[in-house]
Chains A and B, each alone.
Chain A
Amino acid sequence: MKKLFLIFLVLNLYSQDIVSRNRRCFLCHGKEDYKIIEDGKEKSLYVSPGEYYQSVHKNFLCTACHYDVTTIPHLRKPKKIHCLQCHYAGNVVGAPVKEMPEKYKESIHGKAKEKGKEAPDCIDCHTTHYVRNPLDSLSTINKRNVPNTCGKCHTLIKEEYFKGIHGKALLKRIYETAVCNDCHREHDIFSPEDPRSALNPKNVVSTCEKCHADVTIMKKYGVPVRQVEAFKESFHGIALEYGIVKSANCVSCHGYHDILPSKDPKSPIHPKNLANTCGKCHPRASENVAKGKYHVIPYEKEAGVVYYVYNFFKWFTFFVIFGLIVHIILDLAGRGLRKFKK
Chain B
Amino acid sequence: MKEEEKIYEEIINEIEKEGFKVKEEFKEKIKKEVKEKIKKELEKERKKVEKKKEEKEYFIRFSLNIRLQHLTLAVGCLLLIITGLPIKFHESFWAEIYFKLTGGIQVSRFLHRIGATLLVIVAIWHTIYLFTKEGRREFKELLPTKKDFFDFFQNIKYFLKLTDERPKFGRYSYIEKFDYWAVYWGMVIMIGSGTLMWFHNFFLGIIPKFILDIAREAHSDEALLATLAIIIWHWYNAHFNPEVFPFNPTIFTGKISKERMMKEHPLEYEKIMKEKNKE
Contacts and interface: CB of A to CB of B under 8 A. Distances in A.
Interface of A: 232, 235, 238-239, 241-244, 278, 282-286, 288-293, 296, 298, 303-306, 309-310, 313-314, 316-317, 320-321, 324-325, 327-328, 330-335, 337-338
Classify chain B's interface size.
35 or more
A296 B206 CA distance: 21
B159 A333 contact: yes
B26 interface: no
Given A313-B222, A331-B241, A305 B105 contact: no
B105 A244 contact: yes
B161 A291 contact: no
Contacts of B208: 288, 291-292
A16 to B, nearest CB: 63
B214 A291 contact: no
A40 to B, nearest CB: 60
Max chain B Cβ within 10 angstroms of own Cβ: one of A244, A324, A337: A324
Contacts of A298: 217
Given A283-B201, A291-B208, A306-B217, 5 more contacts: A243-B105, A288-B207, A309-B218, A328-B236, A330-B160
Contacts of B202: 284
B204 A285 contact: yes
Max chain B Cβ within 10 angstroms of own Cβ: one of A243, A282, A283, A284: A284
25 contacts: A232-B91, A235-B216, A242-B104, A244-B106, A282-B204, A285-B204, A285-B205, A288-B207, A289-B209, A292-B213, A293-B213, A298-B217, A305-B214, A306-B214, A306-B217, A309-B214, A313-B218, A314-B221, A317-B225, A320-B229, A321-B225, A321-B228, A324-B233, A325-B232, A333-B159
B233 A291 contact: no
Nearest to A294: B209
Contacts of B106: 244
A243 B217 CA distance: 23
A330 B214 CA distance: 36
Nearest to A238: B90
A278 B99 contact: no
A330 B105 contact: no
Q: Give me the 8 closest cross-chain CB pairs, A-B, nearest first.
A: A292-B210, A292-B209, A313-B221, A291-B208, A334-B159, A284-B205, A242-B105, A330-B159
Contact of B232 (A282, A285, A328): A328
Contacts of B91: 232
Given A284-B202, A293-B210, A328-B233, A317 B228 contact: yes
Interface in B70-113: 87, 90-91, 99, 104-106
A316 B224 CA distance: 11
Max chain B Cβ within 10 angstroms of own Cβ: one of A313, A333, A338: A313
